[in-house]
Each structure stands twice: as C-alpha cells, then as structure tokens.
C-alpha cells in the first residue's frame, strides 16, 4: 500500500505473485481498498516479466521492485513443508499448479549422492553437505523421506553437536537449498533482472530486497556488470539494511538487503 500512496493518482501497479493462494489473499485486500482500480495482479513468475508486462500494456516503466523474501504465510499456513518447525509434507513448490516441477520429497528421494551434495553446497552453502547427503541416501533405503520432521531428524543425526546448538537452526541451510532447487529461484532472479532492465525507461529505477547471500550476490554482480557497460547507475554503493526499530517490529528484516540502480540516459 505504501507504494500505491506514492504513485496514485495517475500511476498503475502491476503485481506478480507466483502462489495462487497468496494471490487470492492479495486480491481480496486490494478490492477492499481505494486502489482497486489502479492495481493489476497476475499469478505468474517474474521470470516471465517481459511477457506479462507486454500483455498488460506496461512499457518504459518508472520503477520495478523485487521483494525476494518468502511470505510468513508460506511458513505458517501453506502446509507445504517450507518450515522445519512443523511436520508437513516435503513439497516446497510455490506454485502447486506446476505439476511438472519436482517436489522437495522427489529431489531428496531420487537425486544421487553427488547431486544432493551439489544442491546443499550451491544453494545452501551447507558446510556439512557431504554428511547430510550421505545420511539422506542411507535413510531412504529404509523408508522414503516424505515429511519435514523426517528430514530434520536426518540432518540432526548427521551434523555435530556444536552445529545443532547455534542460534541458527541446523536445518536452515538444507531447507533453503531444497526450496531454491525446487523453484529455480536463482535462475528466475537472473532472468527477471535482465528483463526488468529492458522494461525501465531512462532514469527508471530497479530496487531489490534480498534475504540471503546467494540472492544478494546475484543482484550485486548484475548491477556491477550493468554499470560497467553503462546501462545502469548504482544508487546504493552499499546495501541498505534495516534499522533496530524495524528489526524489533519485524525480526525477519534483520537479513534484508536493499540495492537500487537507475537506468542510465545513455542506454541504447
């Protein structure tokens, strides 16, 4: 709503949400607000941003904002295994309509040891990727791994005691890695950023809030490369972090990083 306060009257907002259930909730909120005629909501991925924007008549836009954070709803209510604190089916798909996508359970039960190690290292930066992958392979010989608590127990038994006593939960990186693998999040981000740059008008801005180092690295490197080629000017030399008051009100903001860039007038 804060964005809408800045762009109306006269402006339009195109919102893209991959999860149809979450989109319906957003539509309900918008329909009850004074902005209902100024917002278009689409159930899709921002990896298809160019096509979506063209379909709805958006070109040479003033600004594009990526919020890469996972909704609290996914953790608390979706029931798809995003949280390691609840016993749920290992699904982790944002869009359950995409039946061709492998679920987290399918990845865990079908991937080779080497592939599991790659996923945990590349997408989770998990230092115990080898021992966790080995434990998964051994456990699934006895019974398929179908639930979050099954997986949490496997991770617990394959990591050292000190690792399980840290402030960050010992299953965090494994769950992050599987979620990213299931949804192709990093590839989608790379594609989305490229298409966003194309859609901006001169002096238009792109802003991205990321929540872990893998996302932030992609955004940082994309901005640097575009700046080197004089396509974007970097507005935030260092990422903007949440202040103490915001973190107190919203603890998940502690890992958030905001980067902003502006399309250069010399872009062609």
109 is written with which tokens? 């039960």
CB 102 within 8 A of CB 111: no
CATH code for the part of the protein at 83-183 = 1.10.150.170
Task: Flag whether pLDDT at 268 surpasses 70.
Answer: no
179-201 tens-digit pLDDT: 999 999 999 999 999 999 999 99
Q: Domain ranges for the chain, please list them.
A: 11-72+186-263, 83-183
* Those residues with Cβ within 8 angstroms of residue 37's Cβ, 6 or more apart along the chain or in another chain: none
1-25 tens-digit pLDDT: 678 878 878 889 999 999 888 899 8
Task: Flag whether pLDDT at 99 surpasses 90.
Answer: no
Crossing angle between the packed helical segments 172-183 and 148-157, to the nearest 10 degrees: 130
How far is residue 61's CA from residue 260's CA, in Å, rounded to a whole number?
15
CATH class, range 11-72+186-263: alpha beta
């Amino acid at each position: 709503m804060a964005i809408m306060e800045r762009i109306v009257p006269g402006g339009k907002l195109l919102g893209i949400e991959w999860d149809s259930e979450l989109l319906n909730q957003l539509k309900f909120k918008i329909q009850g607000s004074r902005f209902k005629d100024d917002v278009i909501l689409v159930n899709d991925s921002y990896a298809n941003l160019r096509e979506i924007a063209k379909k709805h008549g958006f070109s040479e836009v003033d600004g594009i904002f990526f919020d890469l954070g996972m909704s609290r709803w996914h953790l608390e209510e979706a029931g798809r295994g995003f949280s390691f604190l609840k016993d749920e089916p290992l699904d982790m798909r944002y869009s359950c309509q995409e039946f061709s996508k492998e679920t987290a359970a399918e990845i865990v039960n079908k991937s080779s040891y080497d592939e599991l190690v790659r996923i945990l290292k590349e997408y989770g930066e998990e230092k115990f990727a080898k021992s966790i992958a080995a434990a998964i392979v051994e456990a699934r010989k006895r019974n398929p791994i179908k639930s979050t608590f099954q997986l949490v127990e496997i991770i617990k038994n394959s990591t050292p005691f000190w690792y399980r006593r840290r402030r960050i939960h010992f299953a965090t990186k494994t769950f992050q890695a599987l979620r990213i693998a299931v949804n192709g999040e990093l590839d989608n981000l790379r594609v989305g950023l490229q298409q966003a740059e194309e859609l901006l008008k001169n002096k238009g801005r792109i802003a991205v809030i990321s929540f872990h180092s893998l996302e932030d690295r992609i955004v940082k490197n994309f901005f640097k490369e575009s700046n080197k080629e004089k396509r974007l000017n970097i507005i935030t030399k260092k990422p903007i972090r949440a202040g103490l008051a915001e973190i107190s009100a919203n603890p998940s903001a502690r890992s958030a990083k905001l980067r902003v860039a502006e399309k250069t007038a010399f872009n062609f």
